[in-house]
Every structure is written in C-alpha cells, then in structure tokens.
C-alpha cells in the first residue's frame, strides 16, 4: 500500500498536480471530510516540498502538531494526513518545519473557508449539499452566445454598496435580497463582483489575496455566496467574479515563503517583487502553481456556478518590466521583456476554462497593445473572449472633461476608437478604477454647472451605450454619485431624494432597457458591418451621427457634445419612413415616452450625408438621440 493510498489520495491526482495538469486539484488538496478505512474524519493535503516536516495544528489539538505529523507522498512534495473524528467547522493551520528546524504556521492555500480578519486560520468546510435552483439559467446561457447578445454589466463592491454601520457589512444573503432585484430591475444582464477571495485588508478591495479558494468571511459563509449566485441566476443575471491570478499579498499566514523558501513566487526577487503594489508575482514556470491557479478558476465555476472571470492585470502579468524601476528589470530566455511563462499560462488557462465551460466569460483587464487577446489560442491568440477597451475609456473621459469650447480641437478623441473597435471583442468599462484616488466621480468629471454636469453625463452614457462593445458601469454611476467612491462607506443613497439624481436613475433604467430591446445595438458588436458613420467630421459643431446595424434592423444615433442649440439639424438616413425617438437625453430630465414627438421624424427628399433622404430635427445642447425606423412605415 502506497503513502497516497494510506491517506486516501490518488497517485494519479498527485502526479498530475506535479505535472501542472491537475485542473481540479481542489478535489483532493486542502481539507476534506472523508471516510478512510471505515472511519469518518478529515483528510488534509498540502504542497510543501522544502519542508522537513509538516503538521496539522488546530483547536482540536491545542495548536500542538506533535501528534499529527503529515506523511509525505513519495517525492511529490505533497504532505497528507487523515485525522479521524474531526468534523466540519474545525479551525486549523499547517505547521511547516523549515530546513533549519524553525516552525512556521500557514493558512491552507486550498482552504474553502477562513476566519474573519484579523483571524488568519482556515476552517474545515464541506461545500457539498447546496440545492441549486438555476437550471433554467444554465439552459438559457448554453443557448445564447455572448458575442451576439446584450452584455450589460453592473460592477459592485459588496462591502460598500450598502452597509449597516461601520464595518457591519451586508451578508451574502442580504445582498441576494436587495442588490440582485435592484440590478435586475434596472435592466442589467450581469453583476460583476470585485474579488471575493479571502483577503486581510478591506482597503485592498480583495485584490491582495491570502485565500484563493475561500469566499471571504466578511459577508458570511460559502453557502451564503452560493445562495447569492443562485438568486442572480433566478433573476436572469449572470455573475462575473474579479479574479487575481497575477500576484498575492505578503502576509505571514499566506503564500509568501510558504514552506520556508520561495514556492508560489519565484526565487529571483527582482522578478517576484511587485513594488508598486507591495505584493509578489506568481511563478508561472512552477507546474504546481499552474495546477493551483487553473484549478482555482474552474473551482469558482464548478462549485459556485460563477459564469465568468474578469482577469485582473493581464498587462502586468505579460510584461516583466511593468511598474518596476530599471534595476529590477529581468529578461526572458530570448532576451525580451515578455513573461513567456505567463503567456503560456494564460493560453492554457483559457483552453481549460472553455474546455469545461464553453459558455464562460473570460474577460481580460488588459491595458497593453498585446495583439489577438480575444482570438483563440489555435490562431495564436491568448484565448480570452472579451477584453476591456482601456483606450476608449481613457479617450472618452479625457474628452468629456474638456470645456465645450475645447472639444472641436479634440474631436478625434470620440472618433478614433472606431479605427480599432473590431480588432478585439471589447467591453467598454466605466469601472471603479476611474472614480477613486482623486479621479472624481463620473458626474463630477463633467465641466460646467450642476445642471450641465447631469446633461453631459446623460449624453455620455447614451454614446457609450450605442458605441460598439459590451458595457460595464460601476455602482453609483447609475444615479450620478457626486463624490468619488469611498471604499470604507456605502454609496450616497440619500442623493436619490433629489430630482436630478432620481431622473438620472430613470434615464439609465430607460437606456438599459432600450439597449436590451434593440438587436441593432449588440448583434454585430464585433463586426465592422455593425457600425457605419453618417457624419464623423463635424468637429466644428461637436456633433457626431452614426448607424448601428443588427442582422435585420438598424438604429440611428445623433450626439451633440457642444453647449449650443441647433434648431434645424439635418441628418442623412439610409431608408425612407418614420424614425421614432427611442430615447433622448434632453438638456434637463430625459425625454420620457409621453414627451416625445407623437410621430417621430419623417424623412424628406433632401439628399444629405450621401443619402437620398434625410430628417431635420431640433438638437439642444448636450443631447443624445437614439432613433429607429418604425417597422412597416415607409413612403
């Protein structure tokens, strides 16, 4: 009988883990309630190849591991032990003896639950047994490709959407009862949650992780998170999780120097250290690290039914020099700055995710110019299916912050994105990163008076919603949060007592539902045929107009970024007939359906913009208009 068999492990599982080919390693690593030789208990397994000895310590043995020494499985570096009579809820750590005989105490890298900070121990947790009720959502998801369907994402930070007091957070269940119906009613298709893996510091927002397999205990139990995801699915909402495979924090109980030597990080400190963030980069050349990370991605989809991952800091993973001073620069084996191990990892990650979950969303948060990020790996791409369009975001936020008198001189900021809009499958992000650290809220980026700020934000949202690409908006943006995001406090919900913010919420709700209802705005998001300029050159008046096309429908968009009123503005259109106003932002409150012109705009036989017919309309300052031909109504 082998060492693996003695503790209930499969030799094949451990072998594949060592080879970097174990993609469900959470099924045997960590702490698992089990039955071995007829006895109920918990089996522990940890990878610590450089430890002289590994022990399990916890409340059950008064934190003295001398009686619970783990057995190393051959030369695999995996230590394992079955302890009879232990049950779910036991608090534990691993005590690892370094080469010099010094013991160190570490949380379990594969722990499914952890103590709430400032506690650092792991908790034996059985994730089986939750009764899911999302089969209808899964069938829907399997039959709807994300490329040719609406993708409208509400990004939320669970610790500040709403709170009940200082560091008194809503639980996963309470968020299921309040956040989920709120987002669903506003018309979003997905919720994106900032990282929920266990992390010691609230102000890191979850991006500096100690427990990659532990849903943070700040908001409750793992089963509570399952209920939240289930509630989302029952409301027709997909769930995207921010995922951070590029680095980890240095807290003593975490992955740093895990068995007394660099293990999850590389031996070269210049490559491992990320000085800007104060964290350590994963060593993607270690096969066991690859097993750990790819398994983690699949874990969230397998056990929590997460629909997709927004992969953080892809550019940082790929570039060995990014955010590092020259004396820390390292080079790959062919003398370049590309992290070839990270490149191979990302490709393998996406291959495995789509192998097991073909309908998953894998979204790269990537600010680099790396080509073919959203192309399949067999075509030389990285294999993601979406990428954040950081160029569009930077250009548009810069443009919108300009005084209207300056905008004619920077017209290219609103038009240049169409030169590359179809080079990748893009998401247009208005994320938390743009409304924090002194950058001001989206509303407060707009120049001018209080009223002008609201008018321009409505205009901006309309252009964003009709520009090719999927959409993401950070919480609070839907009603015009005035102050920038404060991660230690909840959003300023009292602003909804004021008409301007209530009207903004109503406008965003209407805009969201119009987007979802018009296939022309999303059926051909990734195809050049889905977009056509009507007038791209009107820099003097700061007005643009264009057509969005679906498979069998089209819409017309006119956006006036100036503070001037154009009483008779003529726009060429491709077909005869009546063009209804689907939504108009207006200079004050948005134009509700009852205030629209009853017959819309009927075409006239005046050639304009290269078309044989055109419409004449009133275009107030800072106005966005979305028009669509009334079906069957032609001359």
Name the helix (H) or strand (E) containing 240.
strand 238-243
* Cβ-contact 589, 549 below 8 angstroms: no
Name the helix (H) or strand (E) containing 32.
strand 30-36
**CB neighbourhood size of 541 (10 A):** 17
- Coil, helix or strand at residue 604: strand
Name the helix (H) or strand (E) containing 392.
helix 390-400
Cα–Cα distance list, 62 to 57, 59, 90 (Å)? 7, 5, 12
What is the C-alpha separation between 200 and 178, in angstroms, rounded?
A: 26
Long-range pairs for 200-204 at CB < 8 Å and ≥24 separation?
200/117, 200/118, 200/120, 200/249, 200/251, 201/117, 201/249, 202/117, 202/159, 202/167, 202/487, 202/488, 203/487, 203/488, 204/249
Active site residue 312: yes
Distance of CA 334 to the CA centre of its chain: 33
**CB neighbourhood size of 366 (10 A):** 25
Name the helix (H) or strand (E) containing 623.
strand 623-629
What is the C-alpha separation between 160 and 477, in angstroms, rounded?
A: 14
Q: Which of 90, 95, 230, 312 is catalytic?
A: 312
DSSP state of 194: P
Q: Of 576, 540, 584, which is closest to residue 559 (Cα–Cα)?
A: 584
DSSP string of 292-331?
HHHHHHHHHHHHS---EEEETTHHHHHBTTTT--GGG---
Angle between the N-to-C axes of helices 287-303 and 340-356, in degrees from 0 to 180, rounded to the nearest 10: 30
Q: Which of 198, 265, 365, 503 is catalytic?
A: 365
Alpha helices in 430-546 (DSSP H): 442-445, 450-466, 499-517
Edge-first strand listing for the sheet containing 247-248: 247-248, 279-281, 273-274
Return the active site residues: 312, 365
């Amino acid at each position: 009988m082998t060492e693996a068999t003695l503790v209930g492990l499969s030799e094949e599982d451990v072998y594949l883990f060592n080879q970097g080919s174990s993609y469900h390693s959470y099924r045997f690593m960590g702490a698992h309630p089990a039955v071995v030789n007829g006895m109920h208990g918990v089996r522990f397994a940890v990878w610590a190849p450089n430890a002289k000895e590994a022990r399990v310590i916890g409340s059950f043995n008064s934190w003295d591991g001398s009686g619970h020494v783990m057995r190393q499985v051959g030369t695999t570096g995996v230590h394992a032990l079955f302890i009879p009579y232990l049950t779910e809820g036991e608090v534990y750590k691993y005590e690892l003896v370094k080469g010099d005989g010094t013991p160190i105490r570490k949380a379990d890298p594969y722990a499914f639950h952890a103590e709430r900070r400032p506690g650092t121990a792991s908790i034996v947790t059985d994730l089986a047994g939750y009764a899911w009720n999302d089969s209808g959502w899964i069938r829907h998801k399997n039959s709807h490709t994300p490329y040719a369907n609406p993708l409208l994402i509400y990004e939320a930070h669970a610790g500040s959407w709403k709170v009940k007091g200082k560091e008194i957070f809503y639980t996963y269940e309470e968020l299921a009862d309040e956040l989920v119906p709120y987002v669903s009613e506003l018309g979003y298709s997905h919720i994106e949650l900032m990282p929920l893996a266990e992390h010691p510091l609230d102000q890191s927002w979850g991006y500096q992780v100690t427990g990659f397999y532990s849903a943070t205990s700040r908001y409750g139990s793992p089963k509570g998170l399952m209920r939240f995801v289930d509630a989302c699915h029952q409301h027709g909402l997909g769930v995207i999780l921010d995922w951070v495979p590029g680095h980890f924090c240095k807290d003593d109980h975490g992955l740093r120097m895990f068995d007394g030597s660099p293990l999850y990080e590389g031996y070269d400190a210049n490559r491992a250290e990320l000085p800007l963030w104060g964290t350590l980069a994963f060593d993607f050349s270690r096969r066991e690290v690859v097993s750990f990370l790819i398994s983690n991605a699949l874990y969230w989809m397998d056990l929590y039914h997460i629909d997709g991952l927004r992969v953080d800091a892809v550019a940082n993973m790929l570039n060995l020099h990014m955010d590092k001073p020259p004396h820390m620069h390292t080079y790959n084996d062919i003398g370049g700055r590309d992290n070839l191990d990270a490149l191979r990892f990302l490709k393998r990650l996406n291959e495995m995710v789509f192998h097991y979950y073909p309908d998953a969303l894998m979204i790269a948060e990537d600010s680099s110019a790396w080509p073919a990020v959203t192309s399949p790996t067999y075509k030389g791409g990285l294999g993601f299916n979406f990428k954040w369009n950081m160029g569009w975001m930077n250009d548009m936020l810069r443009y919108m912050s300009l005084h209207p008198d300056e905008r004619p001189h920077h017209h290219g900021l609103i038009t240049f994105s169409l030169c590359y809009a179809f080079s990748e499958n893009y998401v247009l992000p208005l994320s938390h990163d743009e409304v924090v650290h002194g950058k001001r809220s989206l509303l407060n980026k707009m120049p001018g008076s209080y009223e002008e700020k609201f008018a321009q934000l409505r205009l901006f949202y309309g252009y964003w919603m009709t520009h090719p690409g999927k959409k993401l908006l950070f919480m609070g943006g839907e009603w015009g949060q005035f102050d920038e995001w404060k991660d230690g406090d909840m959003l300023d919900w009292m602003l909804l007592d004021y008409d301007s913010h209530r009207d903004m919420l109503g406008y965003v709700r209407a805009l969201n539902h119009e987007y979802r209802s018009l296939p022309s705005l999303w059926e051909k998001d990734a195809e050049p045929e889905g977009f056509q300029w009507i007038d791209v050159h009107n820099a003097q008046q700061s007005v643009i107009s264009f057509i969005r096309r679906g498979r069998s429908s089209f819409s017309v968009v006119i956006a006036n970024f100036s503070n001037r009123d154009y009483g008779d503005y003529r726009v060429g259109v491709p077909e005869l007939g009546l063009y209804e106003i689907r939504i108009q932002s207006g200079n004050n409150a948005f134009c509700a359906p009852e205030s629209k012109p009853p017959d819309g705009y009927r075409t006239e036989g005046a050639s304009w913009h290269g078309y044989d017919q055109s419409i004449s309309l009133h275009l107030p300052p800072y106005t966005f208009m979305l028009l669509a031909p009334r079906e069957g109504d032609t001359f």
